[in-house]
Amino acid sequence: MSSIFPQVMALLNPMSCLSCNACCVTDLEGGEPIVVASQSLWFSKGIPRLLERPRQKVEVDGGAYVGEWLGNSRHGHGIVTRPDGSKYDGQFRNDRSHGEGKLTHANGDVHDGHWVNDKADGEGKLLRIDGSWYDGEWKQDVKFGHGHETWVDGAEFRGEYRNNKKNGHGVYTSAEGSTYAGQFVNDAREGEGTFTFADARVFEGQWKKGQMHGAGRMQWPDGRCYEGQYEDDRKSGDGTFKWPDGRCYVGQWKAGKQHGFGDYMDAKAWGRSGEWEDGIRLRWLETR
């Protein structure tokens, strides 16, 4: 019966658990065959080898496996339970979870999907105990590829993941109702994207580390519009601001305010050049 030992040792892997140095085999009257791990010696006389029996239950220090075997390896459908209460119910290949299966974590989280060599890999859905969930692609136990995720507060993301973080194109809707559609890098808005604020403002342009940074255009619901440069979420550099009544400022900005030289045109299309500092006009330079 020494051939059974690798099967018991196989429960050491993360999907099963634990080991022993010696085991005894018993047939429970009226029940299924059970291999019980203990500190006893092997009692193998007259008992079939595991490889000759398609389904076996192996118990090890509070954990158990019941399912199909191929030789000395778990192979086919099986169920593993661990002392901490976690459970895997699904396919095995060469002693590892491989194929479709459901893992119920000790804390109540449930992952139902495809597995490769004991890792979530391929399509799968993770339902967390708090009600949030992720449904999409996995690679080596991390979110990787296209996915759809929701959070308890109502926030939602659909898009690309890489190493558990939002990377690539996606659409994120916050709990407050704002929406961003564009590029992400390591969970942050980065690159080209459109942000629709909860108050109906819309920004289209460049982002860096989650902030408006570079060329962009902001449109207000009352008709105001700014088109130009941004830095750290503020108008900075050259830009044009237009009011709904026809007024217009074309010039320099700093920290969200008119700063430097610019041209101002009133509602009657009469324009002048001037100098501004911290949002306040210092002087007119000329009349046009």
HEC sequence for 120-170: EEEEEEEECCCCCEEEEEEECCEEEEEEEEECCCCCEEEEEEECCEEEEEE
> Are 142 and 155 in contact, with CB atoms under 8 Å apart?
no
Residue 233 pLDDT greater than 80, yes or no: yes
User: Of the given ranges (20-29, 104-113, 169-178, 247-256), which has the lowest mean pLDDT?
Assistant: 20-29
Task: Indicate the helix (H) or strand (E) that contains 107.
Answer: none
pLDDT in tens, 128-184: 999 999 999 999 999 999 999 999 999 999 999 999 999 999 999 999 999 999 999
Q: Rounded to two decimals, what is the model's pTM?
A: 0.78
Residues 198-221 have a mean pLDDT of 98
What is the rounded average pLDDT for all residues in the chain? 84
For residue 11, name the pLDDT band (cuts at 50, 70, 90). very low
In sequence order, which residues have a C-beta less than 8 Å from that of residue 75 and are 6 or more positions away? Answer: 68, 69, 92, 93, 94, 95
Q: Which residue has the higher pLDDT, 34 or 276?
A: 276
For residue 287, name the pLDDT band (cuts at 50, 70, 90). low
Residue 284 pLDDT greater than 90, yes or no: yes
Please give the CATH topology (third level) of the domain spanning 153-214: 2.20.110
Instruction: Give residue 9's pLDDT.
Output: 35
For residue 54, name the pLDDT band (cuts at 50, 70, 90). low
CATH of 49-140, one of 2.20.110, 1.10.10, 3.10.450, 1.10.3470: 2.20.110
Q: Where in the chain is the domain with CATH 2.20.110.10?
A: 153-214
Residue 42 pLDDT greater than 90, yes or no: no
